[in-house]
Amino acid sequence: MLYIRWNEENELGIDIIDEQHRGVVSAINSFYYGVSQGLSKQSLRLTKGMLDEMTIMHFETEERFLKQMGYPHLHSHALLHQKLLVKMGNIFDESIANSDPDPFLQFLKSWWLHHINEEDRTYARYLKINGKLS
Please, what is the minimum distance in Å from the beta carbon of residue 115 to Fe ion?
6
Our CB check for Fe ion shows the closer of 18 and 120 to be 120
In 3D space, the residue among 18, 54, 16, 17 whose CA is nearest the CA of residue 8 turns out to be: 18
- Interface with Fe ion, residue 18, by CB under 5 A: no
Please, what is the minimum distance in Å from the beta carbon of residue 38 to Fe ion?
33
Question: DSSP character for 8?
Answer: G
Our CB check for Fe ion shows the closer of 2 and 80 to be 80
Angle between helices 41-68 and 74-97 (to 10 degrees): 180
| Binding positions for Fe ion, 23-42, rule CB under 5 A | none
Please, what is the minimum distance in Å from the beta carbon of residue 36 to Fe ion?
28
Our CB check for Fe ion shows the closer of 12 and 91 to be 12
**H helix runs in the chain, sequence order:** 15-36, 41-68, 74-97, 102-114, 121-129
Please, what is the minimum distance in Å from the beta carbon of residue 128 to Fe ion?
16
| Binding positions for Fe ion, 64-123, rule CB under 5 A | 120
Distances (CA, A) of 41 to 49, 69, 83, 102: 12, 41, 24, 14
For the chain, state the CA radius of gyration: 16
Our CB check for Fe ion shows the closer of 20 and 47 to be 20
- List of residues contacting Fe ion (CB under 5 A): 120
